[in-house]
A and B are shown apart, each in its own frame.
Chain A
Amino acid sequence: MSLLEAQGISKSFGGIHALDMCSISVEQGSVTGLIGPNGSGKTTLFNVMTGYERVDGGQVSFGGRPITNAPPDKVFRLGLGRTFQLTRIFPRLTVMENMHVAAQRTDLKGLFSRWSSTDEQKRALDLLDFVGLTSLKNLPAGNLSYGQKKLLEFAFVLIAEPKVILLDEPAGGVNPTMINYLTERIRTLNQRGVTFLIVEHNMEFVMGLCSKIMVMHRGTKIAEGAPAEVRANPAVLEAYLGD
């Protein structure tokens, strides 16, 4: 069953068609890769699905529910979390405070509770432990290294227990040891039932991790299938190497 679906999405910036009748679907419990040359519309598709950009046409649905043009906060509360290509954390908040931002509560009790209430503190600590940042919890997040920031962003998205996580180039600019570390974490979470959609240029990482890969070119999906199939697909080779 497909959990996250985009159908016939179009999005233009001026005269540039970033997305042109693009349709994708992500199966529940899968780790799906989304690859394609630079400028093929992968990040725009992420932005459209998470409410950061409005669509010009087409529908997005999540768990059977239409979320086309829903605002980012609503999309997130429904259980669709994401990270950004250029990691976005809160640099002047401490690592621990960063963890709590996503654990918002909308009821009145949330308004009056301190963010450092004990049960949430414990969950945040567990997650920091999961990504190996526990010892840095009181540092301002702006002082972390690039790779640590990526892990932090990953961890604070997890605190809200999203059903699907969209990762935008999680391995970009990160050293190989960290990539292995991240791969292992994604696998663990996937076994616990979290669905992933990953945009990545690091082929080794994508091919090793994903069960299914979709390829985008010029704003639309040109191929999909198991890693081996996609690698052998002439249309994909053409998109990457040029015609």
Chain B
Amino acid sequence: MRIFKLVGLLVLLALFIAFPQIFPNPAVTTIAIFALMFAAATTGWNIFSGYTGYISLGHAAYFGLGAYALALICQHWNIPGGYQPFLLVPVAGLAAAIIAIPLGWISLRVRRHTFVVITIAMFFIFQLLAYNLTSVTNGSIGLGLPIPISWGGNFYNFPFYYVMLAILLVAIAISWWVRNSKYGLGLLAIRDDEDRALGLGVKTGPSKLAAFVISAFIVGMVGAVWGYYVESIYPPSAFDANFDVALALMAFLGGLGTISGPILGALILESTQQYFTLQFVSSGYYLIAYGGLFLIVILLLPRGIIPTLSGRWAKYQITRQQGQQGRATLVSVLPTPGGGADSAERKEGINL
């Protein structure tokens, strides 16, 4: 089983690597870049919000910070367009992460709804700063990033595609490590009952802050590559409230707190949205199609795609086992010491 899984993942990776060679058309690769961008950012967001249950609607601040950081670095050091700015992407991510430390420390003093509101407020503070700190950000005129003049035609999108893919892989690796480590188990325990986790020796404060900073780092790197790709950044485009909502929606669609859910959600939503925008841009029908898709998902898969499907798969496995071994096993699968007959209690959803 493990071998099959590994081979499957390698084939998937090979497909992602080969994708721009098979579809070199810039219209297609542009959609792919945006889809990968959201997949990486949502995976980063999920490391904090998905695992701890603290829903942040302010990660667009770190996206913008990453973009502005890269623009400022390139400006000050006169970095020419080409491969060099990509090397500075981790630096931009680090800048976003460092700023996330005090902000996370402050906002994580509160929980649930209050936390959501505070993250939104912090996001708007950064948008306002970008507008008004004109000496640094150039205000609403925005900042330009170096333009890679030597890249032309179909090739232009290729470096951006592969860098986005690399960031996505890094984000997945971190997400996987967190999900399988003791540290990540502590985060999941925080999601279910924070005070109980604290009473079992989980250092809840530092754990939450670390997850917050890790996710800001990833989202910051994504923002930096995005800034380089779009060439010039403005306060409303770099600090975009829709970006926050998009991250949350994509993670919910795929399955909050899973590794593959946010990736799947982002790839589906962003590529369909980009496609609809291209196809029906004049008519505005794309918004209806997008909304319709969303309603269907909420009606049929309220827990998100991955948890719903894996739940059904587990159920199917159990019924198949029962079919093979008869009803006797069902009884032995569920013994109750003392015979507690309470009905099973289900708790789902997020920490709200």
Chain A, Cβ-Cβ closest to B189: A101
Taking the closest CB of chain B, its distance from the CB of A71, in whole angstroms, is 7
Taking CB atoms and an 8 Å cut-off, the chain A residues in 142-177 that contact chain B are 142-148, 151, 156-157, 160, 174-175, 177
Residues of the B chain whose Cβ atoms lie less than 8 Å from the Cβ of A111: 181-183
Given contacts A97-B185, A101-B202, contact A148 B340 (CB under 8 A): yes
Among B120-128, B214-222, B330-338, which stretch is in contact with chain A?
B330-338
Given known contacts A72-B195, A115-B181, A177-B339, A93 and B189 CB-to-CB distance under 8 angstroms: yes
Are A131's CB and B192's CB within 8 A?
A: no
Contact check, B346 vs A142: say whether CB atoms are below 8 A apart: yes
Bound together, the chains give a CA A81 to CA B336 distance in angstroms of 25
**A71-B198, A92-B191, A115-B182 given as contacts; is B337 within 8 A of A132 (CB)?**
yes
Residues of B within 8 A of A178 (CB): 337-338, 340
**Quick one: given A104-B201, A106-B203, A115-B180, are A148 and B189 in contact (CB under 8 Å)?**
no
- In this complex, the interface size class of chain B, counting residues with CB under 8 Å from chain A, is 35 or more
CB of A110 within 8 A of chain B? yes
The residue in chain B whose Cβ has the minimal distance to the Cβ of A104 is: B201
A76 and B189 CA atoms in complex are apart in Å by: 16
For B345, give its contact among A52, A91, A97 (CB under 8 Å).
A91
A92:B347 contact, CB within 8 angstroms? yes
Cα distance, A135 to B201, chains bound together (Å): 27
CB of B200 within 8 A of CB of A156, answer yes
**Contact yes or no, A136 B334, CB < 8 A:** yes
Shortest beta-carbon distance from A27 to chain B in Å: 24
Fill in one digit per residue for B178-209: 1 if any A CB lies within 8 Å of its CB, else 0.
00111111101101110111111111100000
A192 within 8 A of B: no
A148/B186 in contact, CB under 8 A: no
- Contact partner of A76 (CB less than 8 A), chosen from B191, B192, B201, B334, is B201
- A143 vs B347: C-alpha distance when bound (angstroms): 9
Q: Is the CB of B202 within 8 A of A133?
A: no
The answer to whether A175 and B192 touch across the interface, beta carbons within 8 angstroms, is: no
**A143 with B345, Cβ < 8 A, contacts A91-B192, A93-B188, A115-B180 known:** yes
* Interchain CB contact under 8 A, A92 and B181: no
In the bound complex, do residue A145 and residue B342 qualify as a contact, i.e. CB atoms below 8 Å apart?
Answer: yes
A-B contact count (CB 8 A): 134
| Known A-B contacts A92-B191, A97-B188, A131-B337; A76 and B347 likewise in contact (beta carbons under 8 Å) | no
Which of B199, B332, B333, B347 has the largest count of A CB atoms less than 10 A from its CB? B199
- In angstroms, Cα B99 to Cα A81, docked, is 37
**Contact A142 B180, beta carbon cutoff 8 Å:** no
Whether a CB of chain B sits under 8 angstroms from the CB of A13 is: no
Q: Is B344 an interface residue (CB 8 A)?
A: yes
Q: B341 interface residue, CB < 8 Å from A?
A: yes
B188:A88 contact, CB within 8 angstroms: no
Chain A min CB distance to B345 (Å): 6
Chain B residues with CB below 8 A from A187, complex form: none
User: Once bound together, how far apart are the Cα atoms of A103 and B201, in whole Å?
Assistant: 8
Tell me how far the C-beta of B231 lies from the nearest C-beta in chain A, rounded to whole angstroms: 40
Partner of A135, one of B195, B333, B344, B347: B333
A101 touches B339 (CB 8 A): no
Q: Which of chain B's residues has its CB closest to A120's CB?
A: B182
Which 8 A/B pairs are nearest by Cβ-Cβ distance?
A145-B340, A178-B338, A90-B192, A147-B340, A132-B337, A102-B200, A145-B342, A72-B199
Please report A residues at the B interface, Cβ cutoff 8 Å: 50-52, 71-73, 75-77, 81-82, 84, 88-93, 97, 100-106, 110-116, 131-133, 135-136, 142-148, 151, 156-157, 160, 174-175, 177-178, 181
29 residue pairs bridging A and B, Cβ less than 8 Å apart: A50-B199, A77-B201, A81-B200, A89-B193, A89-B196, A90-B189, A90-B197, A91-B347, A93-B185, A101-B185, A102-B200, A104-B186, A104-B200, A105-B182, A110-B182, A115-B180, A132-B337, A135-B332, A135-B333, A143-B344, A144-B344, A145-B340, A145-B342, A146-B342, A148-B336, A148-B340, A151-B337, A175-B338, A175-B340
Chain B residues within CB distance 8 Å of chain A: 180-186, 188-189, 191-193, 195-204, 332-342, 344-348
